[in-house]
Amino acid sequence: MNSKPNLKEKLAQAVEAHKNVFDNISRQEMIRHTVENREAIVAQSGALATWTPPESTGRSPKDTVVVKRVISEANFDWTSPNNVPVDEETFDMIFEEALGYLNEKEKVYITDRVVGADSKYALPVKVVSSHALYGVFADNMFRPTPENINESCFFNDGYTVLHLPYNKLDASKYNGRLRKMPDGKASDMVVAMDVDRKIGVIVGSAYCGSIKKMLFTVMNYLLPFEGILPLHCSANEGANGDSALLLGLSGTGKTTLSADPTRALLGDDEHGWSNDGIANFENGCYAKMIDINPAKEPDIYDAVMHHDDYLNHGSIVENAMIYPDGKFDYYDDRLTPNSRASFLLTNLKNIKVSSVSGHPKTILFLTADAYGVLPPVSKLDPDQAMLWFLMGYTSKLAGTETGVTEPQATFSRFFGQPFMPLNPHVYASMLGEKMEKFDSQVYLINTGWSGGGYGVGKRMDINLTRKMVNAALNGDLNNVEYDYDQLFHVLVPKSCPGVPAEILTPKNTWADKAAYDKQAKMLAEKFSSAFDKNYGDKNINESVVKMCPGK
């Protein structure tokens, strides 16, 4: 493909020359090494508790870069702030520096797994790390390599991650090449991807999610070329084998609503939609733990906090407060509001072990509209669905971030913009094609406010939301009459089993009708402005453009 050095071969040579390599040791051995190396301590429950430096408590989007080269640059949307380009020479410099650090390490850990439950497009992944903890994380999150991988998989060459979480780049080498810090020097942290050579390198980021999200981004780049639509969503399956997808940003209820005792969970975050159906990418979950309530989210809480011998547990709790008795305090966010837990899917009670299912009968887009003007449930035709998929709308609430004093409209394309590197029309058109081919119904579920915006109205009752979700899933909403919302371009049902008809039209719930009209028009204008900013120069079908609120 190119004349650049074969970095995978260089890495293999470095590993072969190293005196202390632990190559795909057992899960229990990896856990034991993690504790003996003092990379984590054992909590009261048996879970592994670990903490990262302050600069590594979450992803670092500005330090996440991708190699830009002539053969593939046209595939990327370089107008997206999440596609930060770096040249091949800089990537190779980073890799060589990381190799030097690896050579100095006392121990090296290798974990071979695959990303993807469908072996026909499972991506073989080799994680080479200086720390055992990340081998446990890879074992939690990714799947054992299937025996038939060489016969069936598109990606036999696989992807390699070189991971040095606690080293720092020599910033003096990279001035003008990597992000500039406030002091004028280059950043000493990087999460770098070369999708053409299928290799990545992480230096200075100890956040476990950096590995997961790198691989998710790589899958989102590779799969559309094989006719597979990658989606940032949860998925579950009913008793009749009907699958459903739930797409939504943080705070919209994706995890809560996908955890349904009558439906088996395939996965909670990342899936692919092929001509065979839906398949989870992962083998585990990476759940936010801040403020987790065991009464409201018992399955996730129990999956992490069940008591077991630490060698048989393996759940990783990252950056949560812990007391000397080994108990966590998930309500204490002094370390970070982004405390996380990595655990096996099999720790959950109601799952489909294969994590694959047929084509989705129903797709739910979740939003939490803090302006209180969107219907609690509405039906979307293919053009409307592609528009809302492109926009990925929800609200950021007052108090969630410093300086946020009132609700703010948030738009994240495909409900996961940072991880969708291709040009946007690729994902949107694939969704439309698959909806039509497999006759999938799409609904917009607003889990936000009713009777007024945030501070005036109330959050939609979760029990009513569940009834609307169930009505969408079991087909009840196929047999009701709809009104067309001229402003937001959605179809609003006149009735829904078990739900008071008056709440289905949001204006009916507002005491001040004029205030509703003003608020609704304001949000529609935000949609229109965001669409023009992000897609004004993109190849978007006119029929989809017309479905944008405010147009």
What domains can be seen in the chain, in order of their start residue?
Answer: 7-226 (3.40.449.10), 359-545 (3.90.228.20)
Residues assigned a catalytic role: 59, 213, 232, 250, 254-255, 269, 340
Mean pLDDT, residues 526-545 taken together = 90
Q: What would the pLDDT profile of 309-330 be if each residue is shown by its tens digit?
A: 999 999 999 999 999 999 999 9
Is residue 239's pLDDT more than 50?
yes
Quick one: pLDDT at residue 402?
A: 43
Using 50, 70 and 90 to split pLDDT, how confident is the model at 250? Answer: confident
Alpha-carbon distance of 281 to 266, in angstroms, equals 10
The per-residue DSSP string of 318-334 comes to ES-EE-TTS-EETT--S
pLDDT-derived band of residue 405, with 50, 70 and 90 as boundaries? Answer: low
Using 50, 70 and 90 to split pLDDT, how confident is the model at 297?
confident
Q: How confident is the model at residue 3 (pLDDT cuts 50, 70, 90)?
A: low
At 400 the pLDDT is 42
The per-residue pLDDT for 543 is 92
Chain centroid to Cα 93, Å, comes to: 29
pTM exceeds 0.85? yes
Mean pLDDT computed over 130-157: 87
Q: Which of 107-111, 145-149, 222-226, 229-233 is least confident? A: 145-149
Residue bearing tokens 């489909």 = 352
pLDDT given for residue 5 in this prediction: 67
Q: Give the pLDDT confidence score for residue 152 in this predicted structure.
A: 67
In one-letter notation, the amino acid at residue 279 is A
3-state helix, strand, coil in the chain (%, to 5): 35, 25, 40
Is residue 173 scored above 50 in pLDDT?
A: yes
DSSP 130: S
Confidence grade of residue 154 (pLDDT, cut at 50, 70, 90): confident
* CA 25/CA 296 separation, integer angstroms: 37
Q: What is the mean pLDDT of the chain?
A: 93
Confidence of residue 4 (pLDDT cuts 50, 70, 90): low
Structure tokens given for 416:
């996961």
Closest CA to 114 of 158, 166, 176, 66: 158
Indicate the residue type of 351. I
The pLDDT assigned to 254 comes to: 86
CA angle 391, 395, 401 (to 5 degrees): 125
DSSP secondary structure letter of residue 140:
H
User: Quick one: average pLDDT of 342-366?
Assistant: 96
Residue 393 is classified by DSSP as E
For the residues 399-418, what does the mean pLDDT come to? Answer: 74
pLDDT above 60 (res 359): yes
Contact 367, 374 (CB under 8 A): yes
